[in-house]
Structure 1
């Protein structure tokens, strides 16, 4: 794979919620139902449930108590979360994983579903709306943050490209001739490319900046104009045909253009400590009975 993709982390509360769901399902079943045998000796669901409760019950129960408090506070504050809010956050998360397919594969590897993540996103948005009145961010703070992190807000030169990877120069030349004769790049990538990570997406690589690709590939990609198709490019992976679809020129950091992003980053930074204090106050404020044995 010629491009590195940074993968995010799934919120840990999902694991606890799924775990508690498993415990509740088990508890609803017959206590004597057998889940395993060792030399004919039975292990029942009742024994399994007891172990799960003993190891994770209090932590999982506290997650549910926390969610119940949040639900009650949301109703009290008349807060609503729109589908668009959730979809926008979901798309941001997918982008962090490279693409939707990569995101789904990561979820499946951890036993999560899209619906689990959507619920978690909805809860996070509700918490943000609840805490928003308690968080203030001054212009002075924003300017200071910008000056200390200018590099973060500068835009490096980027190109958006597709590629077709084959194992010989002859094959690359043949494919390039088909492209120049009005062949469809995405279709030919699906047919010929040996890059299993991108061929089903028609060779799509998205935007990338310098330093993300192998040197020979990068040198050619950044020399092309939008719409141009390269000559065969040899790398350790084989021979590439590259098509640049769009370019973004380098841009210096600009405070006015970055204000919304800075405010969002400072809000999230402050939210963690404000949330810890707020939820503890709510635990003390509500009448909570823990009946788990």
Structure 2
């Protein structure tokens, strides 16, 4: 496979190293995936790109947008492709096991009443800003904006805040998320209005309000299907462990890696070695 100063690294050495670095768990995962695929085929379950994409879109909403989801993926060492593969598996398991679940209207109503506060959404503002250290800098930038300069371009060029890379965009935020001076201005402005320089402990902000969402308080009917899906997912999660265990128990599985490890373990033990006590 390779050589270093004439010393060969053989295919067997590479194979053994790969196994030691996680080959056993990787093969075990592959066996599990094959069992799930076979179970899906037996149940006539198929997964479409639309199924997977719908789940991804739902996750984006839960995380507060695509950017927030991508950030969470990066922090966990995952890519979007990894997420799609995992999502496909979860959707497949759900479709197989969902016929075994039962969610009543009473359970949905109870869940809604117990979690009503989590469904309400307070009013939110979306804004961009340019942050600089001095009033003189802020006044000069405001003058450029009044003369027609592009806000996002100036934010990228002159803002000292990390949001500069996004043209100053801070996304949506609610009351209590920003410093008081910034929040008061942002919530009182009209959409597309640009503020005068606002002083805070961080410096001077020039704010552009770009969007607004009213507070929402959804009814049971509004959330009924969302809650039903959530409760079905909970039941599927409870069923899946036993179901996977049963799949393994009823399948004919040959795992040569485990056989090799067992053989190597046996060979490493000296059958003539005895323990004596005085």
Please report how far the alpha carbon of residue 173 of structure 1 lies from its aligned counterpart in structure 2 after TM superposition: 2.1
Shift of 1:143: 0.5
Residue equivalent to 2:29: 63
Once the two structures are superposed, residues 75-100 of structure 1 have per-residue CA deviations (whole angstroms, 9 ceiling, x without a partner) of 23333333233334334445627644
C-alpha displacement of 1:176: 2.3
Q: CA shift at 1:199, angstroms?
A: 1.9
Residue 165 of structure 2 is matched in structure 1 by 200
Q: Which runs of 5+ in 2 are unaligned?
A: 261-278
CA contact (8 A) 2:124 2:173 kept: yes
Alpha-carbon contact 1:193-1:203 (below 8 Å) kept: yes
Contact in 2 for aligned 1:164/1:189 (Cα 8 Å): yes
Distance 2:238 2:153 in 1: 51
* Equivalent residue, structure 2, for 1:129: 95
Q: 1:228 to 1:57 in 2, by over 3 A?
A: same
Check if 1:225 corresponds to 2:193. no
- RMSD, aligned CA: 3.1
Structure 1, 53-62 or 227-236: larger mean CA deviation? 53-62
> 1:260/1:72 Cα in 2 relative to 1: closer, same or farther (>3 Å)?
same
What corresponds to 1:13 in structure 2? none
Name the structure 1 match of 2:178: 213
What is the aligned counterpart of 1:114 among 67, 80, 100? Answer: 80
The whole-number CA distance in structure 2 between the counterparts of 1:212 and 1:34 is 59
Instruction: Show structure 1 runs of 5+ residues with no match.
Output: 1-29
Contact map agreement 2:73 2:80 (CA 8 A) in 1: no
- Which stretch of the first structure deviates more once superposed, 115-124 or 269-278? 115-124
**Partner SS state of residue 222, structure 1:** helix
Residue of structure 1 aligned with 2:156, choices 190, 200, 209: 190
For the residues of structure 2 that align with 1:64 and 1:175, how far apart are their CA atoms? 58
**2:146 alignment counterpart:** 180
Alignment of 1:259-274 (within 5 A): 259-274=224-239
8 Å contact 2:73–2:79 — kept in the other structure?
no
Equivalenced residue count is 257
TM-score normalised by L of structure 1: 0.75
Q: Which runs of 4+ in 1 moved over 6 A?
A: 41-45
After superposition, the Cα gap between the structure-2 partners of 1:180 and 1:283, relative to the gap in structure 1 and judged at 3 Å, is same
Q: 1:138 aligns with which of 81, 100, 104?
A: 104
